[in-house]
Amino acid sequence: MKVYQTNEIKNIALLGNDGAGKTTLTESLLFESGIIKRRGRITAKNTVSDYFPVEQEYGYSVFSTIFHVEWNGKKLNIIDCPGSDDFVGAAMTALNVTDTAILLLNGQYGVEVGTQNHFRYTDKLGKPVIFLVNQLDNDKCDFDNIMEQLKSIYGPKVVQVQYPLQTGPDFHELIDVLLMKKYSWKPEGGAPIIEDIPDSEMDKAMELHKILVEAAAEHDECLMEKFFESETLTEEEMREGIRKGLASRGMFPVFCVCAGKDMGVRRLMEFLGNVVPFVDEMPPVFNTRGNVVKPDVHGPTSLYFFKTAVEPHIGGVQYFKVMSGTAHTGDDLTNADRGSKERIAQIFVCAGANRVEVEELKAGDIGCCVKLKDVKTGNTLNGKDCDNRFDFIKYPNSKFSRAIKPVNESDTEKLMSILHRMKEEDPTWVIEQSKELKQIIIHGQGEFHLRTLKWRLENNEKIEIKFEEPRIPYRETITKSARADYRHKKQSGGAGQFGEVHLIVEPYYEGMPLPDTYKFNGQEFKITKKGEEVVPLEWGGKLVFINSVVGGAIDTRFMPAILKGIMSRMEQGPLTGSYARDVRVIVYDGKMHPVDSNEISFMLSGRHAFSEAFKNAGPKILEPIYDVEVFVPSDKMGDVMSDLQGRRGLIMGMSSENGYEKLVARVPLKEMSSYSTSLSSLTGGRASFIMKFASYELVPADVQDKLMKEFESKEEKEE
């Protein structure tokens, strides 16, 4: 295989909603370029993209597929991404290591929620976008309506390059207003018949051609001047203008294909090869130190590993992008993240599960290795005198969580090992062994995301598992001051135990002053601060511990033991057994014995005194509240709003964003347990949402009563 230079390489992400036809388009692209000899079909389970068992089981793409095509002396690396937002990690990864996005639209449905989501990701990353309308042979395809949708949502930057003469089962010809030619196909598709545009279509074609020429001229001053002089541009000048417009996101060209019949695919590849920006024409990447790393073949070798796949009979396959320099077979490189040495025994270029061995890859190219000993997703391998590290892929927060446990308890360790390996394949998995909740929590992007995980564990790994509702990480705090004392005394022969602690508790907030006196039941307690310890709690909030003991009533050496006793109770609040937070404790008096006092005595005294004072200090339960943003079609806005309010959600605002309404709310985590499933049901899969932790807030009184009763009932059963 030819060694391609950086200025001959283009990296492209193929995105689109489920059912848009990405897998079928991939087959046609590979077939047209000669990489495969016959096109596979999803129903026959023989496609290049969906080759993992779970994908063939569900008929959906679960993983991204990396493949390449060679066309007119150019190499196009294309990453076919899953359409479901549950597998958004693959799309985010692909967009970060490619330079252009093809957004595939289903001709029957036009712009869908997946289209909106993916476009939003391209916008955040500043990536060029080509809209590609597929399935023009569908009975319900309305191309003109799709163009109206695109222009109303994305504005005048949407520019038509092609349009079909008719849609539906008889689709077989289209007009290309860049080349000003009519393309038609025989029933078997493939190579087009290229003819002049018929007179009946010339006026429409000329009008669209003029719009395209104007859009191309806008992005280059020289082209703009020429356009004003002659009102036209040559084909080459238009390509140059479109390339610059794409790179700056100043225009979004629209193309047409019928991937299932292999119509329009060859013309698409011509455009990708001739017009889409090369690797070295896009903004460079920064390493973790903020230094620019250019795709320079003469620079030091630096490989970024962006994806891991575990394949039967092979094991780990690691995919990388050459960020700079040249990768050779036999290179000895250093892992910048782990400090280990790696030898690159073999380098492959990919076409799904098919791999072709090559000797070297230049800067900007994409390839893979197998059986590396110590490389994880996100690692960087560097050559001599190079210390690049990269961390430019940011994944969205989780949206769906479940507690996971094996049916057979003895499989727990094996399960954890497999889950961590799966996280290498999909970094959007978050695996949490919660000491607080006493559960293993798996956080993902949606119900379908977790369902595929369960299928893989049970069918590939042969581990039966079950999902449960995750417990909610409540917090406990107090709302007023209270006082308590406790004496621990034990005498049973030999050394005894004695400790007595008097303390005050009160709610704490940052910068809060310390009063000179407290009053309880008509009695005043003077405070003289001898020492203060502020303990930032790992679960959030603080414990402030103040020593106000005067006259040597308790020796200073016992203060750490009292604090330890208090901390042990902070870890198990009296209302629900949840962590307590934001409390100030003032130890102001006590007693000790010259012989029998020891650390354990004061630890127990501190624990019991704190527990009693806490219960009398107006204890309240706090619950985690999340900021939720829902992107919803305007006709479903009322239903979604009512649903959120029924979940104790507080609507914070509404706005319009690219054709969808954005609803912002604050909702308790308890009410978000199955929200992704409910939202999909409520909107026919047309809405999406993101959520992130906001704060802890007091639960309503009725909810607190219910939680306390549940906890008491559980405690009684355990006794």
pLDDT in tens, 189-203: 889 999 999 999 999
Report the DSSP beta bridge partners of residue 183. 174, 194
pLDDT of residue 55: 74
If 0-12 CB within 10 Å is exposed, 13-18 middle and 19+ buried, where does residue 200 land?
exposed
> Averaged over 207-211, what is the pLDDT?
93
Q: Please report whether residue 485 resides in a domain.
A: yes
Burial pattern 680-701, b for ≥16 Cβ within 10 A else e, equals: bebbebbbbbbbeeeebeebee
Q: Do 15 and 158 have their domain in common?
A: yes
Look up residue 562 and give its DSSP letter.
H
Strands 465-468 and 583-591 come out as unpaired
pLDDT: which is higher, 67 or 38: 67
Asked if the model's pLDDT at residue 51 lies above 70, the reply is no
Asked if the model's pLDDT at residue 257 lies above 90, the reply is yes
pLDDT in tens, 356-410: 999 999 999 999 999 898 999 999 999 998 999 999 999 989 999 999 999 999 9
State how many domains the chain has.
Answer: 5
Q: Do 520 and 644 have their domain in common?
A: no
Q: Do 175 and 115 have their domain in common?
A: yes
| Residue in the block written with tokens 């949840």 | 578
pLDDT: which is higher, 348 or 18: 348
Of the candidates 270, 305, 475, the one whose C-alpha atom is nearest the C-alpha of residue 377 is 305
pLDDT of residue 320: 97
> Averaged over 321-345, what is the pLDDT?
95
Q: Please report whether residue 715 resides in a domain.
A: no
C-alpha atoms less than 13 angstroms from C-alpha of 191 in its C-beta half-sphere? 0
pLDDT of residue 170: 93
Q: What is the CATH number of the domain that holds 674?
A: 3.30.70.240
If 0-12 CB within 10 Å is exposed, 13-18 middle and 19+ buried, where does residue 633 land?
middle
Asked if the model's pLDDT at residue 317 lies above 60, the reply is yes
Lowest mean pLDDT among 280-289, 309-318, 697-706: 309-318
Q: Do 289 and 266 have their domain in common?
A: no
Report the DSSP beta bridge partners of residue 587. 503, 547
The confidence band for 219, taking pLDDT boundaries of 50, 70 and 90, is confident
pLDDT: which is higher, 316 or 105: 105
Whole-angstrom Cα distance, residue 150 to residue 161?
14
Q: What is the CATH number of the domain that holds 575?
A: 3.30.230.10
The confidence band for 719, taking pLDDT boundaries of 50, 70 and 90, is low
Q: What is the CATH number of the domain that holds 323?
A: 2.40.30.10
Q: E strands, 204-251, where?
A: none
Lowest mean pLDDT among 67-71, 86-90, 225-229: 225-229
pLDDT of residue 670: 94
Whole-angstrom Cα distance, residue 88 to residue 452?
14
Q: What is the CATH number of the domain that holds 10?
A: 3.40.50.300
Q: E strands, 224-331, where?
A: 252-256, 285-286, 292-293, 302-311, 315-324, 326-328
Lowest mean pLDDT among 309-313, 391-395, 598-602: 309-313
pLDDT of residue 348: 95
Q: Do 376 and 417 have their domain in common?
A: no
pLDDT in tens, 471-498: 999 999 999 999 999 999 987 666 789 9
pLDDT of residue 185: 95
Other beta carbons within 10 angstroms of residue 510's beta carbon come to 6
Q: Please report whether residue 712 resides in a domain.
A: no
> Averaged over 616-644, what is the pLDDT?
93
Q: Do 187 and 121 have their domain in common?
A: yes
Rounded to 5 degrees, what are φ and ψ at 124?
A: -60, -35
Asked if the model's pLDDT at residue 268 lies above 70, the reply is yes
Q: Please report whether residue 10 resides in a domain.
A: yes
Q: Do 542 and 592 have their domain in common?
A: yes
Q: Do 612 and 643 have their domain in common?
A: no
> Averaged over 561-589, what is the pLDDT?
93
Q: Do 453 and 335 have their domain in common?
A: no
Whole-angstrom Cα distance, residue 16 to residue 135?
13
Q: Do 264 and 326 have their domain in common?
A: no
Q: Please report whether residue 718 resides in a domain.
A: no
Q: Do 443 and 527 have their domain in common?
A: no
Of the candidates 580, 690, 624, the one whose C-alpha atom is nearest the C-alpha of residue 472 is 624
> Averaged over 454-475, what is the pLDDT?
93
Q: Please report whether residue 588 resides in a domain.
A: yes
Which of the listed residues 228, 257, 281 is the one where a domain comes to its end?
281
The 3-state DSSP composition of the chain as helix, strand, coil percent (nearest 5) reads 30, 30, 35
Q: Angle 539-542-544 (CA atoms, 0-180°, nearest 5)?
A: 145
Q: pLDDT over 70 for what percent of the chain?
A: 97
Which residues constitute the domain of residue 62?
6-281
Lowest mean pLDDT among 134-143, 263-272, 465-474, 630-639: 630-639
Q: What is the pTM of this model?
A: 0.85
The confidence band for 5, taking pLDDT boundaries of 50, 70 and 90, is very high
Q: Do 525 and 448 have their domain in common?
A: no
Look up residue 474 and give its DSSP letter.
-
- Of 284-288, 361-365, 576-580, 685-689, which one has max mean pLDDT? 361-365
- Identify the sign of the CA torsion 84, 85, 91, 95: positive
Q: What is the DSSP string of 274-305?
A: HTSPPGGGSPPEE-TTS-EE---TTS--EEEE
Q: Between the CA of residue 283 and those of 4, 117, 165, 392, 707, what are the distances in Å?
A: 20, 23, 38, 13, 54
pLDDT: which is higher, 424 or 131: 131
Asked if the model's pLDDT at residue 462 lies above 60, the reply is yes
Q: What is the DSSP string of 641-707?
A: HHHHHHTT-EEEEEEEETTEEEEEEEEEGGGGTTHHHHHHHHHTT--EEEEEEEEEEEPPHHHHHHH
Which of the listed residues 572, 591, 618 is the one where a domain comes to its end?
618
Residue type, 584: R
pLDDT of residue 283: 86
Q: Please report whether residue 583 resides in a domain.
A: yes
Whole-angstrom Cα distance, residue 97 to residue 285?
10
Q: Please report whether residue 259 resides in a domain.
A: yes
pLDDT of residue 50: 60
Q: What is the CA radius of gyration of the chain?
A: 32
- Are the C-beta atoms of residues 266 and 59 closer than 8 Å to each other? no
Whole-angstrom Cα distance, residue 11 to residue 123?
17
Q: What is the mean pLDDT of the chain?
A: 91
